[in-house]
């Protein structure tokens, strides 16, 4: 049965799990059979997560429809499955978006305009259904602009209004200075539709100005405002932005929010008139860095705080801008004697998980977070995206998170706390010496019954920090039962046919009906799925096999994430070169090229000098410039390199550096290639070894600077290599020798 995706992260629990995916099973996700299918063009950046409505009769036939909303206030309805049906079914433009400089001069958090920045919500009740969208607009001229937020309700079949758009405004009657500001406030969390009420939450643009955090409730039929709640009216700030995650809701109709930082007492003594004094203890959740449980009293027109938790070190967190930003995520499991344990999970820039009992959230204690179930360090740096919580069974609940400067990690719930030691973690990790905001944004898909069908999807910046500029992104697929098993990523394909484009900050991939929908800042939606017969298949997964030199048997095999190469040939960098090369093209102008692989073992009893490893080569011709990091059967690592000879000149000598000591298999190897500063046509190559792909790595000699005459029109050939280091031919029937690689990453 086709599924609908009508809200951010699949459901109001915001767990980030689609448990009805019957097509994209783990065994089907590999480079040969899975990849990019098509894209849909939009005007603007896709901060909002795509939404899917299935079996919808629109434009004369039944189809699945994907809904997209952009930073330029455009809303699109597209066919979700047919690559040839590339024209939108309908579009709607909802007003002039706000140029980022109109928020504040030099403001860089947005690429251009600020319009629709939250994930809409869809109600399928009635004929067709209704999509609710919040827009930010600028009116008037640039010298005297005015700003407005509006809530729209549109027919999903036509894009026409279901009710007149309503201005989004708010103020507190007993505090006239506490007012919603359409310029300063930012609607980042996804919209929540619950019990015929639309909830919206607001933070700010980069903590600019004297703003207040807000949670607002509107009647879904009339769009009339029902209630308004300010998170930190006494002190200011307390923004709700949640890295785009929507407000959460449970079956009791309670609404949950993760509140960011408020002002520190020192700031308020300086900025507020009359001055305020810090109270001896927190008596209400008005200081930021809190998790709130709210209940709407519709008759009274009030959102009341039913329960809450505030960090014990709230004032310190406020002072250093360490927001609560990941979550909220709701989940449950059976408790003792027929009870139900009900949890809410949030994350922070401090790298902690904040886990609370939804029926006793703990409020505030001045020393230590003893009133909460858990407030432990899980990550080395900022948690931005909400954790994914997978209820694999009542006895096995796991949380997945990928912070900046870290690896993707899985933690298992034991008792009423998550174990702080990862149950599993990826071997690919974001670099520790640079920011990679926002880390990985995650989603999980499975059929809801068989854990071996599950796939964990992650999107992150490919090379740079996405905080204040638009950067490339990468989509990855992992086995959630073992995060060391990376099934596929969008940078693997040799022809770069699966490239994602520019990362859409905080927007999770959406898995539905056999496809993966990923918003981008490249002004398009990218759709991935199972490939047809027309897609080129490479000899060996992502690689093309090439025999370099004579007397080389071109033979390799691949199973899952493991690669095996037949070992024949006279050697690498020798006068009579001969080796097997599993290669892929990489362009040096795109930045640092990194090749990582684990050599699990070399089975070559008849070839005592056999070697295998990683190689970068200018081309396939004899005497080409190259760099290789190879390992022998005894675990001895050697770094070999040679410059490109001048035209019509003989080969230059090969330089060799041996590692100071032998390693024990499995051995991780890493080559990193980058342009040499100030030397056009040259590259710098670093060779490293480790006992684990996760490191730490040790350099083999000094980085080598090589003249390769590389320009923008030349792709380097990079990949795996194997040689028997034996002169003379080896027949197919001879005792075969093989090397096995695993954990292969080319980026």
Together in a domain, 245 and 341: yes
pLDDT of residue 169: 97
Together in a domain, 514 and 551: no
Together in a domain, 168 and 223: yes
Give the separation between CA 206 and CA 221, rounded to whole angstroms. Answer: 33
Domain count, the chain: 2
Most confident of 471-480, 647-656, 722-731: 471-480
Contact call for residues 219 and 226 (beta carbons, < 8 A): yes
pLDDT of residue 560: 62
Average pLDDT over residues 215-236: 94
Give the separation between CA 267 and CA 235, rounded to whole angstroms. Answer: 9
**721 burial via Cβ count (<10 Å: 0-12, 13-18, 19+):** buried
- Final residue before a domain boundary, out of 475, 498, 530: 530
CA distances from 614 to 319, 640, 641, 696, 744 (A): 48, 10, 12, 18, 10
- 3-class SS at 79? strand
Together in a domain, 517 and 558: no
- Final residue before a domain boundary, out of 530, 554, 578: 530
CA distances from 520 to 29, 59, 85, 510, 523 (A): 22, 26, 20, 12, 6
Together in a domain, 308 and 444: yes
Model confidence at 585, pLDDT cuts 50, 70, 90, reads: confident
pLDDT of residue 281: 58
Looking at the domain assignment, is residue 535 inside a domain?
no
Mean pLDDT of the chain: 90
Together in a domain, 479 and 579: no
Assign residue 314 a region (left: φ > 0; alpha: ψ between -120 and 50; beta: otherwise). Answer: alpha
Together in a domain, 591 and 522: no
Looking at the domain assignment, is residue 63 inside a domain?
yes
pLDDT of residue 272: 46
Give me the CATH number covering residue 704.
Answer: 2.60.120.200
CA 577 to chain centre: 43
Average pLDDT over residues 60-71: 96
Q: What pLDDT digit, counting tens, does each position of 258-298 carry?
A: 999 887 655 554 554 444 454 555 666 777 899 999 999 99
pLDDT of residue 648: 67
Q: Which domain holds residue 339?
A: 17-530
- Final residue before a domain boundary, out of 502, 530, 558: 530
Together in a domain, 112 and 69: yes
Give the separation between CA 724 and CA 555, rounded to whole angstroms. Answer: 13
pTM of the complete model: 0.79
Phi (first) and psi of residue 203, to 5 degrees = -115, -130
Give the separation between CA 492 and CA 503, rounded to whole angstroms. Answer: 17
Together in a domain, 422 and 459: yes
Together in a domain, 626 and 714: yes
Q: Is the pLDDT of residue 464 over 60?
A: yes
3-state secondary structure 358-425: CCECCECCCCCCCCCCEEEECCCCCCCCCCEEEEEECCEEEEEECCCCCEEEEEEEECCEECCCCCEE
Contact call for residues 447 and 392 (beta carbons, < 8 A): no
E-strand ranges in 567-625 read: 578-586, 593-603, 611-617
Q: Is the pLDDT of residue 197 over 80?
A: yes
Cβ-Cβ contacts under 8 Å for 54 (sequence gap 6 or more) = 2, 3, 4, 64, 65, 512, 513
Together in a domain, 501 and 549: no
E-strand ranges in 480-574 read: 482-489, 510-512, 515-519, 524-530, 544-549, 556-559, 562-566
Residue 103 is inside which H or E element, if any? helix 100-103
Give, as one character, the DSSP assignment of residue 503. B
Average pLDDT over residues 314-340: 89
Looking at the domain assignment, is residue 9 inside a domain?
no
Residue 319 is inside which H or E element, if any? helix 314-319
């Amino acid at each position: 049965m086709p599924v609908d995706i009508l809200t951010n992260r699949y459901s109001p629990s915001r767990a980030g799990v689609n448990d009805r995916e019957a097509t994209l099973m783990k065994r089907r996700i590999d480079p040969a059979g899975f990849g990019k299918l098509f894209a849909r063009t939009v005007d603007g950046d896709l901060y909002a997560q795509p939404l899917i409505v299935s079996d919808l009769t629109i434009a004369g036939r039944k189809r699945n429809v994907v809904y997209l909303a952009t930073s330029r206030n455009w809303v699109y309805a597209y066919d979700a499955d047919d690559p040839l049906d590339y024209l939108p079914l309908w579009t709607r433009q909802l007003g002039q978006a706000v140029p980022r400089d109109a928020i504040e001069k030099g403001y860089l958090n947005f690429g251009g305009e600020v319009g629709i920045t939250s994930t809409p919500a869809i109600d399928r009740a009635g004929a067709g259904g209704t999509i609710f969208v919040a827009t930010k607009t600028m009116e008037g001229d640039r010298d005297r602009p005015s700003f407005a937020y509006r809530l729209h309700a549109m027919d999903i079949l036509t894009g026409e209004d279901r009710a007149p758009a309503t201005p989004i405004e708010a103020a507190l009657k007993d505090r006239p200075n506490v007012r919603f500001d359409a310029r300063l406030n930012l609607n980042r969390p996804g919209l929540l539709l619950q019990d015929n009420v639309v909830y919206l939450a607001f933070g700010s643009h980069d903590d600019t100005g004297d703003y207040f955090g807000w949670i607002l409730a509107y009647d879904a039929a009339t769009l009339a405002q029902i209630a308004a709640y300010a998170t930190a009216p006494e002190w200011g700030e307390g923004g709700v932005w949640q890295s785009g995650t929507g407000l959460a809701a449970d079956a009791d109709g309670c609404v949950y929010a993760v509140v960011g930082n408020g002002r520190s007492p020192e700031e308020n003594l300086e900025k507020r008139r009359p001055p305020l004094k810090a109270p001896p203890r927190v008596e209400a959740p008005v200081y930021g860095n809190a998790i709130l449980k709210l209940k709407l009293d519709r008759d009274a027109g009030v959102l009341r705080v039913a329960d809450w938790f505030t960090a014990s070190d709230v004032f310190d967190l406020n002072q250093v801008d360490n927001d609560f930003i990941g979550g909220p995520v709701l989940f449950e499991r059976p408790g003792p004697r027929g009870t139900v344990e009900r949890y809410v999970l949030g994350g922070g820039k401090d790298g902690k998980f904040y886990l609370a009992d939804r029926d006793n959230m703990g409020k505030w204690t001045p020393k230590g977070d003893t009133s909460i179930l858990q407030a432990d360090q899980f990550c080395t740096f900022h948690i931005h995206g909400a954790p994914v919580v997978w209820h694999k069974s009542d006895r096995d609940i796991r949380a997945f998170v990928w912070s900046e400067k870290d690896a993707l990690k899985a933690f298992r719930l034991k008792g009423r706390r998550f174990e702080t030691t990862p149950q599993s973690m990826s071997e690919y990790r974001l670099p520790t010496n640079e920011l990679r905001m926002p880390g990985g944004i995650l989603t999980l898909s499975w059929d809801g019954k068989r854990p071996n069908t599950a796939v964990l999807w992650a999107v992150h910046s490919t090379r740079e920090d996405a905080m204040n500029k638009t950067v490339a992104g990468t989509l990855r697929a992992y086995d959630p039962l073992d995060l060391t098993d990376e099934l596929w990523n969008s940078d693997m394909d040799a022809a770069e046919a699966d490239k994602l484009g520019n990362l859409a900050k905080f927007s999770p991939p959406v898995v539905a009906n056999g496809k993966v929908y990923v918003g981008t800042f490249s002004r398009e939606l990218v759709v991935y799925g199972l490939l047809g017969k027309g897609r080129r298949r490479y000899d060996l997964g992502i690689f093309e096999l090439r025999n370099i030199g004579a007397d080389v048997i071109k033979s390799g095999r691949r199973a899952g994430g493991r690669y095996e190469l037949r070992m024949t040939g006279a050697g690498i960098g020798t006068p009579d070169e001969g080796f097997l090369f599993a290669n892929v093209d990489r362009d040096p102008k795109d930045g640092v090229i990194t090749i990582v692989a684990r050599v699990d073992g070399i089975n070559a009893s008849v070839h005592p000098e056999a070697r295998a490893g990683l190689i970068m080569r200018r081309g396939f011709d004899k005497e080409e410039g190259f760099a290789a990091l190879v390992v022998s059967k005894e675990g001895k690592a050697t770094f070999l390199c040679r410059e490109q000879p001048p035209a019509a000149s003989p080969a230059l000598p090969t330089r060799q550096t041996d590692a100071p000591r032998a390693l024990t298999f499995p051995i991780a190897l890493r080559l990193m290639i980058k342009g040499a500063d100030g030397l056009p046509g040259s590259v710098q190559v670093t060779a490293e070894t480790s006992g684990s792909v996760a490191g730490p790595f040790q350099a083999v000699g000094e980085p080598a600077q090589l003249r390769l005459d590389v320009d923008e029109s030349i792709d380097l050939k990079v990949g795996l290599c194997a040689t028997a280091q034996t002169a003379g031919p080896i027949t197919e029937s001879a005792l075969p020798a093989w090397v096995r690689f695993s954990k292969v990453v080319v980026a």
